[in-house]
């Protein structure tokens, strides 16, 4: 039986919903993602230039095949407004067959 590439989840926080929607639209239009979820109301605390910062953000959760990871990374690095965007990618091997089939048809 042919081994299928893992499903990939990419997480990327955005400064606001407008940015998250614009990036999500690009990812879908370029067929590197099958689904993008926008998670509003995230409060982030982090070190930036030697100071602890706090900001409101929207999370972007991108569902795709791991074969598209580099394309997703490139798009986010080029289009994201942050100087140093957080882009975390994780392979998911346990996926229900019906969802995997849907995802693969929609990338």
Residues whose CB falls within 8 Å of the CB of residue 59, separated by 6 or more in sequence, listed in order: 11, 12, 13, 14, 20, 38, 39, 42
Please report the pLDDT score of residue 93 as a whole number.
85
Question: How many distinct structural domains can be found in the chain?
Answer: 1
Is there a domain that residue 31 lies in? yes
Over 90: is that where the pLDDT of 15 sits?
yes
Over 80: is that where the pLDDT of 2 sits?
no
Reference 79, options 33, 19, 15, 16; nearest CA is 19
**43-96: pLDDT as tens digits:** 999 999 999 999 999 999 999 999 999 999 999 999 999 999 999 999 998 999
Is there a domain that residue 46 lies in? yes
Over 80: is that where the pLDDT of 1 sits?
no
CATH number at residue 56: 3.30.70.120
Is there a domain that residue 13 lies in? yes
pTM, rounded to two decimals: 0.92
| Cα separation of the two ends of the chain | 22
Please report the pLDDT score of residue 88 as a whole number.
98
Q: What are phi and psi of 9, to 5 degrees?
A: -110, 125
């Amino acid at each position: 039986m042919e081994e299928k590439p893992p499903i990939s989840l990419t997480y990327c926080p955005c400064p606001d919903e407008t940015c998250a929607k614009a990036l999500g639209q690009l990812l879908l239009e370029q067929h590197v993602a099958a689904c993008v979820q926008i998670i509003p109301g995230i409060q982030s605390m982090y070190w930036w230039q030697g100071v602890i910062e706090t900001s409101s953000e929207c999370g972007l959760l991108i569902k795709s095949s791991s074969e598209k990871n580099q394309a997703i990374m490139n798009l986010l690095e080029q289009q994201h407004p942050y100087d140093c965007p957080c882009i975390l990618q994780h392979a998911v091997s346990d996926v229900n067959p019906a969802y995997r089939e849907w995802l693969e048809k929609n990338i």
